[in-house]
Structure 1
Amino acid sequence: MNLFPVVLFLSCALCGMAAALGMAVCRLRHQEQSMENAAHQIAEYILDRRKGGIACSEEGAMYRLFHEVNSLVTMADAHADSERRAKEFLRRTIADISHQLKTPIAALNIYNGILQQETADAATVREFTSLSEQELDRIESLVQSLLKMARLDAGAITLERSPENVFDLLEHIKRQYSFRAEQEGKEIVLEGDEQTVFSCDRTWLAEAIGNLVKNALDHTAQGDRILVRWQQSPCLTQITVEDTGSGIHSEDLYHIFKRFYRSRFSKDTQGVGLGLPLAKSIVEAHQGSMEVHSKLGQGTAFTINFPIMTK
C-alpha cells in the first residue's frame, strides 16, 4: 500500500493548521495591541492630557466597540464644555454683581458717616436719609431682578396664561409711571384698539413692558413723548414702546440685551443693566420675540411680537 498520498495530505493539513494558528495568533496580538493603545488613550483622556476619541482602523466588533467609546467621549467633551461655559458665566455674573453692589454700598457708608457727624442739622439728615433710601432701592431692584432672571433661567416659572385686555394692561403700566413722567415733564401716550385681547401672563408681561417704559423714561428729556401702541392681526399681536429720546448708538444695538451691559456713550449712571435682558427673557418665555430700531438723537422703538397660537 502506497502511504505517500496520505502522508502528503496530512502534511498539507498540518501546514494549513499551523498557518491558520499563526495568523490567529498574529490577529490576537494585533487586537491586544489595539486594546492596549485604546486603554492608554482612554487613560490619557481621563487625566485630561488628550482630547478627542480613539483612533481605530479595525473592523467588525472592535470597530463597533471603539465607535461607542468615541461616542461616549464626544458626549463627555460636550458636557465638559457646557460645564466650563456655565462656570465662566457664573464667574462673570458674580463679578458683575459685586461691581454693581460696590457703588451703592460705598455711597451708603459715606452717607452714614455724614449722618453720624451732622445729627444736629435736620436738613442735612433729611437730605442724606433720602439719598440712602435711593441707594437701598437700587440694591433691592438689583436683587429682585437677579432673582427673576434666575427663576426664568432655571425654568422655575410656569406662566399662568389667561385672556387679557391689552388696553387695561397698558393703562395699568401707564398709571404706574405717570407720576414720574409728570415730574420730569414727559408724556406717556397709549394708542390702539381698546377691545384687543390676547393670552398672556399678566404679571410677567406687565414686568416686561414696564421695564421698556422705564427704559424710555431713563433716556428721554423734558418735553419728550413715550408712545405705547399695539395692533393685532389673525396671527400676531404686536406691542411697540417708542420714544423721542436720545436714541441708541449703533455700536450698542447688538449688546443692549446683554446682562449688566453699560454703554460708554450712555449718561445713565443708575441703571444696573438688567431691565432689557429681563424683558426679553419674559417675552421669549411667551414664545414671543423682541426687536429694536433706533436713531441717535431721534429716539428708539422696541417692538414685541407675540404669535397667536391656533389649535
Structure 2
Amino acid sequence: MKIFADRRIKTLFIQILACVGGFTAAAALLLWSIPQDAAGWIWLAALCMTALILALLLRYFHAEHRTMEQAVQQIEDYLAGSHDARIECDDEGELNRLFHEVNSLAAILNAHAENQQRARQFLKDSISDISHQLKTPLAALSIYNGILQQEQKDPEVVRQFTALSEQELDRIETLVQNLLKITKLDAGTVLMEKSEQRVAELMQALGQRFSIQAERQGKRLIFSGGEHVVLFCDAHWIGEALSNLIKNALDHTRTGDFIQIEWCTFASVVQIKVRDTGCGIHPEDLPHIFKRFYRSRFSKDTQGAGLGLALTKSIVEAHGGTIEADSQPGHGTVFTMNFLIPTKL
C-alpha cells in the first residue's frame, strides 16, 4: 500500500500493533495465571494500552503539525519574494510527494519569471537599439530638409540632398521591414509554403538581381553547383536569406573581389556556401554576428542596422537548418548553411 511508503506512518502502525500485541499477550498471561482476578488486571492493561496508543498518536500528529508549519512557512517566504525557499521532502510518502510537487511548481514559476525578465530586458534593449538606429537617419533627414529649404533656388543642391534623403528613407524602410520579418518569424505567424525547389533556379534569380550592382562596384558574382540539387524550402524566404548574405558580402568587399555562391548535396544534407574575398570578420566578433543589432567596434560600416544576419539565421532555422560563419581578417568570409533532406518513409 502507498500509505506505508511514509516511514513515519509505517513506524506508527508498527508501534500500535506492538501495543495491541502486548495487551493481548498480557491478557492471555493473566487469564492463565490468575483466572479469578484477571478481569481487573485486564481492564488496567487495556487502559495502559489506550494511553500508550494515544501518546503515540499525539506525538505523530504533533510531528505532522510541525512539518506542515514548516512547509507553510516556506511557502509564505516564497510568496514574500524569497524564490530560493524550498520544502524539505527527503522521505517517501504521499505528503513528501506533495511537497516535491510544490517545489517543482516553485522551480517552474522561477523559470517563467526568469524568462519574462529576459523577455522584458530584450524588449527594452530592442526598443533602445531601434531608437538608436532610427535617430541617425531621422537626424540626417532633418538636416537635409533644412538645407533644401534654404537652397530651394539651386537645382543641383536640391537634387543632391533629395537623393541623400531618399537613401535615409530607404534605410528606415529596410530597418522596419526586417524588424517586421523577424517578429513574424519569432511569433510563428509565418506560414512557410515549402516545396521542392531546384537550387540552380533560385541562384539564377539571385544572379539576375545582384549582377548589375556587382558589375557597377567592380566585383564578380560566381555561382557554382549541381543542376539537379533540390531543396525542400519556401523559395521566397530562402531567397531572402541568401540575398542578405550576398548584400552583406557586397558591402564588405573591395573592387576586384569576388563573391562565390556554391551548393552541393550529400547523403542527407543540402549545403549552400556564400564565400567572399573581402575584409573578413574579427575573431572577437565572430561569435556575435548573428545577434540582433550587433555592431562591431572593428567594423567601418556605419550604415547597416545589424539585422540582416539575424534575419538570415531565423529563416534558416525556420527551415530546420543551421548556419555558421568562418572568417579570417583580410582573407574573406564563408557562410555555410546546411539543410537536412526530408526522409520519405
Same fold (TM > 0.5):
yes
Q: Identity, % of aligned pairs?
A: 52
User: 1:208 Cα shift?
Assistant: 0.2
**Structure 1 206/60 Cα, relative in aligned 2: closer, same or farther at 3 Å?**
same
Question: Which of the numbers 29, 54, 69 marks the counterpart of 2:62?
Answer: 29
Instruction: Tell whether 2:140 aligns with 1:107.
Output: yes
Give the structure 2 partner of residue 269 of structure 1. 302
Conservation of the 8 A alpha-carbon contact between 1:229 and 1:239: yes
Conservation of the 8 A alpha-carbon contact between 1:41 and 1:50: no
Give the whole-Å Cα distance in 1 for the aligned partners of 2:237 and 2:36.
100
Instruction: Tell whether 2:278 aligns with 1:233.
Output: no
Question: Which of the numbers 123, 126, 133 marks the counterpart of 2:156?
Answer: 123
Report the residue type matching 1:310 in the other structure.
T
Normalised TM-score (structure 2): 0.86
Question: Which of the numbers 74, 77, 89 marks the counterpart of 2:110?
Answer: 77
User: 1:58 Cα shift?
Assistant: 5.6
Task: Structure 1: give runs of 5+ residues left out of the alignment.
Answer: none
Counterparts of 1:1-311 in structure 2 under 5 Å?
Answer: 4-56=37-89, 59-311=92-344
Q: CA-atom RMSD, angstroms?
A: 1.6
User: 1:3 Cα shift?
Assistant: 5.5
Conservation of the 8 A alpha-carbon contact between 1:190 and 1:228: yes
User: 1:97 Cα shift?
Assistant: 1.0
User: 1:2 Cα shift?
Assistant: 6.9
What SS does the corresponding residue of 1:254 show, helix, strand or coil? helix
Conservation of the 8 A alpha-carbon contact between 1:244 and 1:299: yes
User: 1:272 Cα shift?
Assistant: 0.6
**Structure 1 68/234 Cα, relative in aligned 2: closer, same or farther at 3 Å?**
closer
**Structure 1 52/155 Cα, relative in aligned 2: closer, same or farther at 3 Å?**
farther
Give the whole-Å Cα distance in 1 for the aligned partners of 2:184 and 2:103.
36
What SS does the corresponding residue of 1:249 show, helix, strand or coil? coil
User: 1:137 Cα shift?
Assistant: 0.5
Give the whole-Å Cα distance in 2 for the aligned partners of 1:197 and 1:38.
61
Conservation of the 8 A alpha-carbon contact between 2:238 and 2:316: yes
Give the whole-Å Cα distance in 1 for the aligned partners of 2:206 and 2:330.
26
User: 1:29 Cα shift?
Assistant: 2.1
What SS does the corresponding residue of 1:189 show, helix, strand or coil? strand
User: 1:247 Cα shift?
Assistant: 0.8
Report the residue type matching 1:236 in the other structure.
V
Conservation of the 8 A alpha-carbon contact between 2:83 and 2:110: no
**Structure 1 57/173 Cα, relative in aligned 2: closer, same or farther at 3 Å?**
closer
What SS does the corresponding residue of 2:286 show, helix, strand or coil? coil
Considering only CA atoms, is the larger Rg found in Structure 1 or Structure 2?
2
